[in-house]
Amino acid sequence: MAGRIVLFGATGYTGRLTAEALVARGQRPLLAGRSGDRLAALAAELGGGLDTAVADVAQPQSVFELVDGGDVMLTTVGPFARWGDVAADAALAAGAHYLDSTGEPPFIRRVFEHFGPRARQAGIGMVTAFGYDWVPGNLAAGLALRDAGEEAVRVDVGYFVTGEAGMGSFSGGTKASVAGVMAAPAFAYRDGALRTVRTADRLRNFTLRGRELPAVTVGSSEHFGLPQAAPALRDVNVYLGWFGPFSRPLQAFSLLGAGAMKVPGASGLTARLAERLVKGSTGGPGPEQRARAGSHIVAEAYDRHGEQLSTVQLGGVEPYTFTAGILAWGARRAAEAGMLESGALGPLAAFGLDELEAGCREAGLTRV
Ligand SMILES: NC(=O)c1ccc[n+]([C@@H]2O[C@H](COP(=O)([O-])OP(=O)(O)OC[C@H]3O[C@@H](n4cnc5c(N)ncnc54)[C@H](OP(=O)(O)O)[C@@H]3O)[C@@H](O)[C@H]2O)c1
């Protein structure tokens, strides 16, 4: 029998979209969050008499009581650097598979390095960052590496948003998470190992539809997930192309920021300032605004001489629609069929390349 899907964070912006996506796929998630009233209102809106449960990270036991062995813990409770550990611990203690919506590099690293060995021991799969950040790049790179064959040792991934995309196209939760990330070091997979580097330490252009578009490096799940799936890889570079002409100033800002962070107390101060400036749970783009935006992901595989061997591009829906759809797909798949391995897994190791491509298609992203 399939385990239950426990959606923790159901009343948040992404949680609600994910609840809708699950119900649209015929699933009956347990809706969990902090407010019984808001959960009841959401359950009534979704129909079908879904069960609800009140749980708050501030009372860890309430989160531990949400899941049993064989369930799937699907959490959208963020920022994860602040709130993420309890749901991961609860999944581990119960023997439940785990998926989350984080995009935050420090938390991704924590899942792979801190929770991963315990997940392997417990025989469960933990898939972090199973949203727009950073599933599409794992898929695009997986396809590019398959096309490239055995010579490939490096892969570059670029993420771009298309259509109408401004600050209003990000949810309060995303802004809160990004604010925290600015204050933390990032990482990259270089020369066959994970290295701590600053965000935006590299900049390059990608050619999309005949246009040269700049993008800067970021820490993401590809740095862990791709070497797992393709052990011959020596370098994984992931670039964010959301900033257009601001990419180079951002790189300078990041360099200055890295220097400033060496001043004692500066990083805590920046994090506190970011928290004050950016509040979570302030909603996000509505359906019309989401419909006006889209996304484009490119992956390029290279051989050891730097010759490009293959390129793959994905395109389709904007980040939040994709995130809700792929989280719903992954949770259903994990509940019905489990994951391919145990431990902290990249999307490819958890589900396989062909399955993941089918899941992304269902969530609105296809090869273009
Ligand atoms: N990977 C991606 O591409 C992607 C896409 C979308 C979002 N995200 C990430 O997902 C997270 C959620 O984003 P969002 O847009 O949904 O933000 P949001 O609307 O602010 O939602 C945050 C959620 O966390 C819950 N929460 C906060 N403190 C809690 C606590 N102490 N105990 C239990 N729950 C608590 C909130 O509960 P209440 O409802 O009770 O306030 C809410 O459900 C963020 O970290 C965001 O960066 C990532």
Domain positions in the chain: 5-131+321-352, 135-318
- The answer, yes or no, to whether any atom of ligand 1 lies below 6 A from the CB of 177, is yes
Ligand 1 pocket check: which of 6, 20, 34 to mutate, most ligand atoms within 8 Å of Cβ? 34
User: Is residue 171 scored above 50 in pLDDT?
Assistant: yes
Q: What are phi and psi of 367, to 5 degrees?
A: -70, 135
The mean pLDDT value for 245-251 works out to 75
Distance CA 107, CA 318 (A): 23
Domain 5-131+321-352 sits in CATH at 3.40.50.720
The atom number, within ligand 1, closest to the CA of 284 reads 15
Which residues lie below 8 Å from residue 287, measured CB to CB, with a gap of 6+?
none
Among 77, 170, 218, 317, the mutation site with the greatest number of ligand 1 atoms within 8 A of its Cβ is 77
Lowest mean pLDDT among 45-54, 152-161, 239-248, 261-270: 261-270
* Residue predicted with more confidence, 286 or 51: 51
Q: What is the arithmetic mean of pLDDT over 305-333?
A: 97
Comparing 145-149, 237-241, 271-275, the range with the smallest average pLDDT is 271-275
The H or E element spanning position 194 is strand 193-197
Decide if pLDDT at 178 tops 90.
no
Residue recorded with tokens 């449960």 = 53
Write the residue with the smallest CA distance to atom 40 of ligand 1.
34
Summary mean pLDDT of the chain: 90
pLDDT of residue 181: 64
Q: Of the ranges 72-76, 107-111, 269-273, which one carries the lowest mean pLDDT score?
A: 269-273
Give residue 366 CA to ligand 1 midpoint distance, Å.
27
Contact 116, 126 (CB under 8 A): yes
Q: Please tell me the CATH superfamily of domain 135-318, with its number.
A: Dihydrodipicolinate Reductase; domain 2 (3.30.360.10)
pLDDT above 90: residue 79: yes
Residue 321 binned pLDDT confidence (cut-offs 50, 70, 90): very high
Higher pLDDT, 321 or 271: 321
pLDDT given at position 182 = 59
319 pLDDT higher than 60: yes
Predicted confidence (pLDDT) at residue 188 exceeds the cutoff of 60: yes
pLDDT at res. 172: 75
Q: Which whole number is the average pLDDT over 339-353?
A: 98
And the tokens for 342? 């145990």
Confidence of residue 364 (pLDDT cuts 50, 70, 90): very high
- CA-CA distances (angstroms) from residue 266 to 141, 185, 262, 273, 307? 36, 13, 7, 10, 42
Q: How far apart are the CA of 303 and the centre of ligand 1, in A?
A: 40
* Ligand 1: nearest atom to the Cα of 176: 47
Query: Does pLDDT of 269 surpass 60?
Result: no
Q: Say what the pLDDT of residue 277 is.
A: 47
* Mean pLDDT, rounded, for 286-310: 93
Residue 242 predicted with pLDDT over 80:
yes
Q: Is the Cβ–Cβ distance between 222 and 231 less than 8 Å? A: no
The answer, yes or no, to whether residue 257 has pLDDT greater than 80, is no
With a 6 Å cutoff on the Cβ, whether 164 touches ligand 1 is no
Query: What's the 282 CA to ligand 1 centre distance in angstroms?
Result: 10
Token look-up 């629609």 returns 321
Q: What is the mean pLDDT of residues 123-145?
A: 98
Q: What is the pLDDT of residue 275?
A: 56
pLDDT for 236 equals 98
